[in-house]
Amino acid sequence: MNVKAEQQTTAMDTIKLMAAIAILIGGIAAFYMFEAQSTLLRVIALLVITGVATAVALTSAQGKSLWSFATSARTEVRKVVWPSRQETLQATLIVLFVVLLVGLFLWAVDGILGWILRSIVGTGG
């Protein structure tokens, strides 16, 4: 059995993650504190601060694990064989046709059951 040992979270990793959160919160606070400045400059500064916070977070064990997962997921997405435009159109038309048929069937069943119920209750109409 091949069991992979989980990495232990060290105090340094916790400090890095807390620093990343503090940087991000500080950036958001600065965005609102400098309300008199240009919105474009504030957004650019917030994006830079977010990048710095992300870079700090990615240096932790959890960040490295997340980055590894993201790259693996990207590799798997590249392996997917996506349907062609014609296959997508055909599948969509089949789904629409089946939905229409089921809708008509349920409408008919509702009408028949309503007629039976009105006949039993005797409300007429």
Confidence of residue 125 (pLDDT cuts 50, 70, 90): low
Amino acid at 20: A
The model's pLDDT over 5-52, given as tens digits with 9 standing for 90+, comes to: 445 668 898 999 999 999 999 999 999 999 999 999 999 999 999 999
Q: For residue 28, what is the enclosing H or E element?
A: helix 11-33
Percent of the chain with pLDDT over 70: 91
Q: In the predicted model, what is the mean pLDDT of the chain?
A: 90
Integer Rg of the chain from CA: 29
- Determine the Cα–Cα distance for residues 75 and 30; give it in Å rounded to an integer: 37
Give the pLDDT mean for 51-57: 94
Long-range contacts at 22-25 (CB < 8 A, ≥ 24 apart): 23/49, 23/52, 23/53, 23/56, 24/49, 24/50, 24/53
Confidence of residue 124 (pLDDT cuts 50, 70, 90): low
Structure-model confidence comparison of residues 124 and 47, the more confident one: 47
